[in-house]
Amino acid sequence: MIDGDPNGQPILAVADLHAYYGKSHILQGVSFHIGEGEIVSLIGRNGVGRSTICKAIIGEVPPLGSVRFRGQEITGLKAHQIARLGIGLVPEQREIFPTLTVRQNLVLGQKRGTSEGRWRIDDLFRIFPQLGARADVLGGALSGGEQQMLTMGRTLMGDPELIMVDEPTEGLAPQLVARVADLLSEITKQGVAILLVEQKLRIALSIADRVYVMGRGKMVFEGTPEALNKRPDIREGWLEI
């Protein structure tokens, strides 16, 4: 992990990132980094720009500033080029193919030009046994929790080294929220780094190595979950409603 190694290099380094929707200045000079195999939680109130960070990194929103992945500047690249470099996005809207089966959805996520990455369909069915049991069921017939698992699995089939997971527990029952936390921890055991955008503080703090708090388009805190728990001013000023 980069924090434990002063000579280590982050897998992702974002510096002075700005992004706009029309004339609205959403990201206002955001800087942060993610280390190898690290889970970093990005938290804050709704509307502060957390999802926009993911979209700017993956190229869905034009970014101004610097985004470096494994030392390579990726600003200006198209989304499919960034994905091929090893960055995956699990979007909040899930965006599965409802008329295709679970298995077909997973096959579509496979990285082009590779016969086999670190993730095979059998591996995903081991991690997501509910998907294995419903491998031939259409995506549109899955529950919300199963669709979230399918979206995560499809992203992993692209063999990413870093995945950005946007609000994975939105709309899920409490027991499934705990299951998502376990799945994210399982994914990092395979060497995949995670940027977790999450509204629920319990899951965001329970699995994160480090935490960033956003407010009004900027980072207002960076540190460990333990350090955040010792900062009631940050929680009251930027997180609690």
| pLDDT tens readout for residues 123-181 | 899 988 999 999 999 999 999 889 988 999 999 999 999 999 999 988 888 888 888 88
Of 211, 198, 216, nearest in space to 29 by CA = 216
- Say if residues 66 and 16 touch (Cβ distance below 8 Å): yes
Output the DSSP codes for 186-225: HHHTTT-EEEEE-S-HHHHHHH-SEEEEEETTEEEEEE-H
CATH top-level class of 1-86+195-241? alpha beta
Strand 87-90 with 210-215, pairing? unpaired
| pLDDT tens readout for residues 79-132 | 999 999 999 999 888 889 999 999 999 999 987 655 567 788 998 999 889 999
Supply the pTM of this predicted model: 0.91
